[in-house]
Amino acid sequence: MIIHHFEDQNSLLNRFMLEIRDQTIQKDRMRFRRNIERIGEILGYELSKSLDYKIKSVKTPFGSRDIGIPIDQFVLCSVLRAGLPLHQGLLNYFDHAENAFISAYRHHPDGGDAFEVIVKYFAAPDLDGKILVLTDPMLATGKTLENVLKALKGHGRPKQIHIISVIGSKAGVKHISSVFPENTNLWIAAIDNELTSKGYIIPGLGDAGDLAYGIKL
């Protein structure tokens, strides 16, 4: 896996990361969602530099100009519900992309720390020969993305896979590196060192879905 990690680079991304982690600022749900969206825009812009381009001529009121534009078809696939603000950030830039959505949640069978990831809802176009961009803001254990990859196998063979995440754990990054194709690209704003016994990232930011949309039962 090719990892693009932006934590140590000085950019405006750091301000948005500070605000989503801050336990006071993150209580403003609208700001939290918008910050995740803006992080998606920044990571999407960085991803765009790695694509294949073709030259297209455009006419202006005073002449013409050749401009390079991406040539591949895109499918943006997000994990519900936490992935929605990140998905929107990418869609703001890749506005010609097709879209896919998948639900994945943690199920604790005995109420303890052990859990399994259950996928229930999935809607996607044909993926054959397209650039597949998977978005999941919190890359904790990596089990969610592993299950998403399994669910996608019946929908065609993508030309390339990109993963967009806001915060990951070292263990989660290592796990998906072992299950995704070697040429998969991971675009991630920060990688934290540890996980709790229940698989949440430390220091992380808490539950991204709850912070964006409210606490669930």
> What per-residue confidence (pLDDT) applies to 105?
66
Per-residue pLDDT of the chain (217 residues; tens, 9 = 90+): 999 999 989 999 999 999 999 999 999 999 999 999 999 999 999 999 999 999 999 999 999 999 999 999 999 999 888 999 999 999 999 999 999 999 876 655 666 555 566 777 888 999 999 999 999 999 999 988 998 998 888 899 999 999 999 999 999 999 999 999 999 999 999 999 999 988 899 999 999 999 999 988 7
In Å, the largest CA–CA distance within the chain is: 70
Sign of the Cα torsion 79, 80, 82, 88 reads: positive
| Long-range pairs, 76-79, Cβ under 8 A, ≥24 | 76/100, 76/133, 76/135, 77/101, 77/102, 77/124, 77/132, 77/133, 77/134, 77/135, 77/148, 77/152, 78/102, 78/134, 78/135, 78/136, 79/103, 79/104, 79/134, 79/135, 79/136, 79/144, 79/145, 79/148
**Which residue(s) pair with 160 in the sheet?**
131
Residue 205 burial (10 A CB sphere; 0-12, 13-18, 19+) = buried
Q: pTM, whole model, 2 decimals? A: 0.91
Strand (E) or helix (H) holding 38: helix 29-48
**What whole-number distance in Å separates Cα of residue 77 and Cα of residue 123?**
9
If one counts every other C-beta atom within 10 angstroms of the C-beta of residue 147, the result is 18
